[in-house]
């Protein structure tokens, strides 16, 4: 672009300074966008892996272990707040090294055993590296929170490079997710009277929900163990129904 065509703001010695500052700002914005692009791609990759596992179960066993999948990319505000609490400057290098939950995937299952089945199937894959595992189902948090948390990394293949990107995977049952959603809403209400009683009641609810989860799993296992007598025609019909499963969204 010819110098005379530039806006007056960018002309002269002062304009050179402003131009330099603008370029630095744009470089920072583009660097941040590139960083977040990697995390967004990691979410897509892991989401696809779970969808594949769910489809496999539908074809092989005529049931879907996954009720729903939720994904979340941490906002810039949340990133800056977390880095400030950690007392670490929010540089790209510091963000990549110290934050594991920018990319978030939450998988909601019907039964407790499906949680561990899916976690094992995911971490067994060659391109998934398990960094950390926290089992809040076997060892619930003091408030009653239950879920299985995995920190994993996955390679993202760009046009000219390959980058390992970290993501947090949470796997829980429908009942666990229901409790966590309500607890989250209640937790952020200010000036709650009798807070200790509320906390105690929430924990009681968590224990009741855990009992329901265990009971539902026991019922499913009992039902799976019942073998119905079928004729050859009925057996053939069941196999044909498996073939009819729609494999495309």
Q: Which residues contact 95 (CB under 8 A, 6 or more apart)?
A: 35, 79, 83, 102
For residues 98 and 161, the answer to whether their CB atoms sit within 8 Å is: no
Burial (CB count within 10 angstroms: exposed 0-12, middle 13-18, buried 19+), residue 152: buried
| 51 tagged catalytic | no
**Cα angle at 128 between 126 and 130, to 5 degrees?**
120
Report d(CA 188, CA 174) in Å as an integer.
22
Q: How many CA atoms lie within 13 A of 30 on its CB side?
A: 6
Residues β-bridged to residue 173: 109
Q: Catalytic residue among 51, 168, 183, 238, which?
A: 168
For residues 148 and 116, the answer to whether their CB atoms sit within 8 Å is: yes
Q: Cβ atoms within 10 A of the Cβ of 187, count?
A: 12
Residue 231 Ramachandran class (φ > 0 left, ψ -120 to 50 alpha, else beta): beta
Annotated catalytic sites, by residue? 168
């Amino acid at each position: 672009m010819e110098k005379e065509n530039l806006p007056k703001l960018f002309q002269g010695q002062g304009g050179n300074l402003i131009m330099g500052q603008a370029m630095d700002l744009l470089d920072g914005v583009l660097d941040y966008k590139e960083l977040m692009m990697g995390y967004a791609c990691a979410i897509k990759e892991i989401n696809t892996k779970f969808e594949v596992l769910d489809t496999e179960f539908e074809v092989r066993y005529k049931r879907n272990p996954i009720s729903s999948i939720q994904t979340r990319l941490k906002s810039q505000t949340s990133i800056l707040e977390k880095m400030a609490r950690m007392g670490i400057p929010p540089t790209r290098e510091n963000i990549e090294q110290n934050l594991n939950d920018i990319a978030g995937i939450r998988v909601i299952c019907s039964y407790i055993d499906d949680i561990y089945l899916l976690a094992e199937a995911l971490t067994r894959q060659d391109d998934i590296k398990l960094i950390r595992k926290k089992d809040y189902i076997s060892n619930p948090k003091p408030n009653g929170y239950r879920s299985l948390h995995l920190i994993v990394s996955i390679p993202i293949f760009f046009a000219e490079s390959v980058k390992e990107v970290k993501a947090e995977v949470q796997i829980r049952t429908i009942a666990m997710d229901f409790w966590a959603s309500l607890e989250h809403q209640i937790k952020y209400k200010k000036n709650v009277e009798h807070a200790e009683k509320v906390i105690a009641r929430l924990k009681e609810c968590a224990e009741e929900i855990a009992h329901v989860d265990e009971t539902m799993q026991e019922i499913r296992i009992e039902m799976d163990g019942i073998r119905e007598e079928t004729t050859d025609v009925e057996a053939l019909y069941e196999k044909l129904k498996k073939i009819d499963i729609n494999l495309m969204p």
